[in-house]
Structure 1
Amino acid sequence: MACVAGSPWHTGLISWLTPCSHPQILNQALGTMNPALSIALLLTGLQVAGGQKVTSLTACLEDQSLRLDCRHENTTTVPMQFEFSLTRDAKKHVLFGTIPEHTYRSRTNLTNRSTLKVLYLSGFTSRDEGLYTCELYVPGQPPSFSNRNVSVLRDKLVKCRGVGLLAQDASWLLLLLLSLPLLQAMDFVSL
């Protein structure tokens, strides 16, 4: 299969099936492909596109560190990679990811949970202001990524809540609240 010279690259969900957006070339490519292979590729693409999506990115100040909370869906078994970056003066600086910049390596610390990535940038100053991005992508797959941005200005930054990560997974708290009536009935707790 060859692309027509000058044809645009297809940027949709099936961009990895063929580099061309021309309908005849796409039909020809899909028509000659093994049906089992095309179904497997399509299901893999759908799983990647639908199961790993950044849902929110928030920023707050904890002591003298910037804390970025990147929440995401993860409903697949496909391993994913992620990257935190800062865009300042039209230049992208990778804080954490495959190849982080040397100047940020010693200043970053990451907490990695199944649906939450928390990046701490220590010694946060006004020189670190800019547009922060959290991006998820699947290695070895055609470009399929999801990201969120947050603009960070030091004097507009809110302080982080004191409870921290425990409050973000509060299933233990819900269990305790639901069991209080039972504990009261058994005279273990008196309120």
Structure 2
Amino acid sequence: MSIRTAARLILGYAALVESGAAMVRFRERTVAFMSAMERATALGRRLVVIGDPDAGMHTRLARAYGCGDVCVDLNGCPKCPMTIVADITKGPVPELTADSSVVFVSCVLEYVPDLEAALAEIARIAGSAENVFIVNVQPWTLTARLYPNARWRGTTAVGSKVDMRPVGLDEKLVATGVVGALAAAAFWPKGKGKR
């Protein structure tokens, strides 16, 4: 087997794995959002969605969840009827009182500058771990390392310890270098570089 063929097989496999992970994440988002909606209805609380449901590359193609009763995002949520433009890492969001809502967070914590501050604000709004529903990018994926502005990778389980670690520049460079080298080996034009 040639290096070109091997590189193409490895890239194809990586693309398949990343696509599969995205599909699993889509399903996890849908299930977690439905559970959060049911809990909010049962408790008579508002459902607060942290992060614009249409901000990611995949979520623009097919929406896995809705806006809830209110959506909180740094830049707002253009398609959501009730939006609060706020940074959850900058202290209490004034419009959201403590222990007042059920909170749904999907693939947002990976990008916040201050993870502890974001988790503290989510806990303040929700009041208890049972009122928080979080979906993370799978920490083992290339997406967790290479998605623009990714700062953290890991998991945040409701009522459990947070296991998120910073995505370092070294990790990004290694992943980028490996993917770049494979792409070069797979698609370099035949005969180039020979004299």
Quickly name the TM-score band, shorter chain normalised.
under 0.3
Between Structure 1 and Structure 2, the one with more strand by share is 1
TM-score (norm 1): 0.25
Larger radius of gyration: 1
TM-score, structure 2 as length reference: 0.25
Between structures 1 and 2, the one with greater helix share: 2
